[in-house]
Structure 1
Amino acid sequence: MSDTSHALVIGASRGLGLALANELTRRGWQVTATTRNSGGDLRPSASLQVESLEMTSPEQLSALRERLSGHRFDLLFVNAAINRGNLPIGEVPADMFTEVMITNALSPLRTLETLRDLVVPGGTVAIMSSDQGSISRNTEPGYELYKASKAALNQLMRSYTTRHANDGHTKLLIDPGHNKTALGGPDAPLTAEESLPAVVDVLEKQAGAPGLQFLDLYGEVVPW
């Protein structure tokens, strides 16, 4: 991509979002990236502008939209996920269920709805998903709430695509693989520094493609 391409990365305090922001800047993108109020490892530079955002707060989302009103982006990428352990669904407290669903499913789509008009015609809106959200691949036990939240995210993104079918934006759900992050754990086979360059390859290759695709970091289709 040329150095005139602009990206807005939501959720870049650490881990996958941080690696995504860094990889985009390395390739010459101008990046605006958000970090939660509690901070993180994101550092501003000539090609990286840092904004504060708690994505689960509609008020903070609206405030960010106002601050960015003069900006236009070729890519809007939303990265957010929490995991609250490996409980069978019958043992999940209601407040935990609500927290995970708000963070992993509702907030990413609310973010797209709030910021989508900042994306240029022909631009891309993308969300970090997971193959854990694939219903057809759910053949092993464990992490039921997390899997459900990612499946809900995918379904909501499908609904978003249906409502905005004619907006000209490329729409992507990205499975970045199993990475050594706070969420993925220390035994994961990949690091963010290994997987995110491949993810950016996919984002750049798919720019301008119509409709919604659920792809892994190698550009392969993930089954719904």
Structure 2
Amino acid sequence: MPTVLITGANRGIGLELARAYASDSWDVIGTCRRPDAASELKAIGGVEIHALDVTDDASVAALAKALQGRKIDLLLNNAGVNYRGGTLAEIDYGNWAKTMDANVFGPMRVCDALMDNVLASERKQMAFVSSMMGSIAECTGGSYMYRSSKTALNMAVKCLSMEFGAKGLVAVMIHPGHVRTDMGGPSAPVLPTESAAGIKSVLDGAKASDNGCFYNYDGAVLPW
């Protein structure tokens, strides 16, 4: 069966994605900062768990070393943060830097470190959990830190898709919906199971022509 590596797999969307792929008999590698505390991820059964802090170069390098020579059909970059602050006056520039590190630099560190693993696989897929809030065309204002990080991520992934597309890589961005998680809040309309199922469906059908595209979890193409 194919292998998927999911970052931030200990809770929220990442946890539901791990459950979805495990139930479909994929080999699942789940990463999180504290595997010892990932009780729900461990409870899935059969999931290989590794420690990973996407903001730490040494942590990313250690994961790459542990997985050297392993084929990864789908690298699913899910880990991210969202510091609150909607207006210009509410911006905390330290938190903005942390947001960019986790949401932009982190996924790119991971994809760089594991590129050989993905290109050695049959599927050669990378997916990046982005957000409609990163769309310039659909921007409604506010949330400077989070919005700008997802816009930057989209551009980075677009560049990635163009650099490695000739080698067979299919890299896509996915908006998971406004999901009822710790980040999305208890009143969010989309359940984690619904989001994960939609994301998996989109990626199951991804092909070369989807490289560099930005999709909603229901498969709709999103504007930039």
Which letter does structure 1 place at the counterpart of 2:195? S
User: Shift in Å at residue 44 of structure 1?
Assistant: 6.2
Q: What do residues 82-118 of structure 1 show as CA deviations (whole Å, max 9, x unaligned)?
A: 1111232344132111111111111111111111111
CA contact (8 A) 1:179 1:188 kept: yes
In structure 2, distance between residues paired with 1:142 and 1:85: 10
Relative to 1, partners in 2 of residues 1:143 and 1:211: Cα closer, same or farther, differing over 3 Å? same
Residues 31-42 of structure 1: pairs in structure 2 closer than 5 A: 31-37=28-34, 39-40=37-38, 41-42=40-41
User: Shift in Å at residue 71 of structure 1?
Assistant: 1.2
Q: Once superposed, which parts of structure 1, at least 4 consecutive aligned residues long, lie more than 6 Å away?
A: none
User: Shift in Å at residue 47 of structure 1?
Assistant: 3.2
User: Shift in Å at residue 162 of structure 1?
Assistant: 2.5
SS of 2:200 mapped into structure 1 = helix
Q: Which residue of 2 aligns with 1:52?
A: 51
Give structure 1 stretches of 5+ with no counterpart: none
Which letter does structure 1 place at the counterpart of 2:141? P
SS of 1:173 mapped into structure 2 = strand
Q: Which residue of 2 aligns with 1:158?
A: 158
Q: Which residue of 1 aligns with 2:190?
A: 190
In structure 2, distance between residues paired with 1:60 and 1:14: 20
User: Shift in Å at residue 141 of structure 1?
Assistant: 3.1
Q: Which residue of 2 aligns with 1:20?
A: 17
SS of 1:148 mapped into structure 2 = helix
SS of 1:188 mapped into structure 2 = coil
Q: Which residue of 1 aligns with 2:126?
A: 125
Q: Which residue of 2 aligns with 1:216?
A: 216
CA contact (8 A) 1:168 1:210 kept: no
In structure 2, distance between residues paired with 1:96 and 1:122: 36
User: Shift in Å at residue 121 of structure 1?
Assistant: 4.8
- Percent identity over the alignment? 30
User: Shift in Å at residue 163 of structure 1?
Assistant: 2.2
In structure 2, distance between residues paired with 1:74 and 1:111: 14
Which letter does structure 2 place at the counterpart of 1:182? D
SS of 2:114 mapped into structure 1 = helix
1:171 equivalent to 2:168? Answer no
User: Shift in Å at residue 48 of structure 1?
Assistant: 1.3
Q: Which residue of 2 aligns with 1:137?
A: 138
Corresponding residue pairs, total: 220
RMSD between superposed Cα atoms in Å: 1.6
Q: Which residue of 1 aligns with 2:101?
A: 102
- TM-score after normalising by structure 2: 0.92
CA contact (8 A) 1:161 1:171 kept: yes
Deviates more, 1:37-46 or 1:90-99: 37-46
In structure 2, distance between residues paired with 1:46 and 1:14: 15
CA contact (8 A) 1:24 1:31 kept: yes
- Which structure's residues are more often strand, by fraction? 1
Q: Which residue of 2 aligns with 1:62?
A: 61
Give structure 2 stretches of 5+ with no counterpart: none
Q: What do residues 129-183 of structure 1 show as CA deviations (whole Å, max 9, x unaligned)?
A: 1111111000x23212111111011111112222223120111101110100111
User: Shift in Å at residue 11 of structure 1?
Assistant: 1.4
